[in-house]
Structure 1
Amino acid sequence: MLALGATYGLGSVVIGLLVAALGIAGLVSMVRVALVNRRTIREGVPAEARCLEAYVVHNRSSDGYTTSQRRLILGFGTPDGRDVRAELVAHAPYAVGDIVPVRYLPECPERVVPAGASFGIGLSAGLKGVAMLGLVYAGLSLTVMALGAG
């Protein structure tokens, strides 16, 4: 019986550490993407991209709510003559053939941000909320791990 308890405790420790690591990795990934987007907005090269394709993605959640997201496939040329294709989530309605002002970093022109985007209070508050949720998630995982070890 003691061996079963020790195995359960070790399993709880491993699962707790794994879940905590996944939560922290997700949080780090979100913060990294947000920082790259902020840098692109501040330092990015402006370009006029042409909308090559526009489509809508519908996401249905388990509780019955449906959200829609408008996406664009854009094409533009860089000053060094490179043709670039990029995908963008659009908050304004664009049709095929429309000109869409964007910004991009020279080292990664496939990652575009709308030229009028702002890194405002909403995103900052959202990141703080996600950070707090990630910390709570990691804390609960570590608690499960500690209870399993005890």
Structure 2
Amino acid sequence: MALGAFALLCGVAGLLVLVIGARAVRRRVRTRRTLSDGLPADGQVLHVYTVPGDQGRDGVQHAVVAFRTVDGRRMLTNDESGLSRAVGDQVPVRYLPERPQDAVLADLPPNLPGAVLLGLCGTGFAVACLSAAVLAIVRLR
């Protein structure tokens, strides 16, 4: 029975990693599409706050940025990059007209190496977990 519980745990962990990875990839693709095809807008930092760190780490700065769409709607977006911003700073924003709520700050540095490394590690973990689950299920028979 312990082997069955192990197989179930590994299978669930593997599927969870795959779901999280798929969501991260989808978000990354949407961000890249927004940066390449999105409409430009001028944003302004309205509010800056710091999310406290844990285990002795410094907190991460976040900012709320307002901008107007071409049709005049006022939208808000969060900057979770940790870049130093001050209230009143002007920042470039890009957004897709059909999804202005998913606007992206256009001055963010690309994080491609980190995203690729995280994706490879996550995929490896998911494959290992799903393989362990399959092997455990085969042994049960």
TM-score (norm 1): 0.79
Match status 1:134 vs 2:125: no
Q: Deviations over 1:87-108 (max 9, x none)?
A: 1125543322222221111122
- Quote how far apart the aligned CAs of 1:38 are: 0.8
Going from structure 1 to structure 2, the CA distance change for 1:133 and 1:104 (only over 3 Å counts) comes to same
Using the alignment, how far apart are the partners of 2:13 and 2:32 within structure 1?
Answer: 29
Contact between 1:48 and 1:101, CA under 8 Å: does it hold in 2?
yes
Q: Which residue does 2:133 correspond to in 1?
A: 145
Q: Which residue does 1:37 correspond to in 2?
A: 31
Match of 2:44 among 50, 66, 70: 50
Going from structure 1 to structure 2, the CA distance change for 1:43 and 1:140 (only over 3 Å counts) comes to same
Using the alignment, how far apart are the partners of 2:109 and 2:84 within structure 1?
Answer: 18
Going from structure 1 to structure 2, the CA distance change for 1:72 and 1:145 (only over 3 Å counts) comes to same
Aligned sequence identity (%): 27
1:1-150 pair list within 5 angstroms: 7-60=1-54, 64-90=55-81, 92-119=83-110, 123-149=111-137, 150=139
Structure 2: runs of 5 or more not aligned: none
Using the alignment, how far apart are the partners of 1:141 and 1:90 within structure 2?
Answer: 31
Residues paired across the two proteins, number: 138
Structure 1: runs of 5 or more not aligned: 1-6
Secondary structure of the structure 2 residue equivalent to 1:96: coil
Contact between 1:27 and 1:131, CA under 8 Å: does it hold in 2?
yes
Using the alignment, how far apart are the partners of 2:115 and 2:36 within structure 1?
Answer: 19
TM-score (norm 2): 0.83
CA RMSD of aligned residues (A): 2.0
- Give 1:53's aligned amino acid: H
Using the alignment, how far apart are the partners of 2:44 and 2:113 within structure 1?
Answer: 32
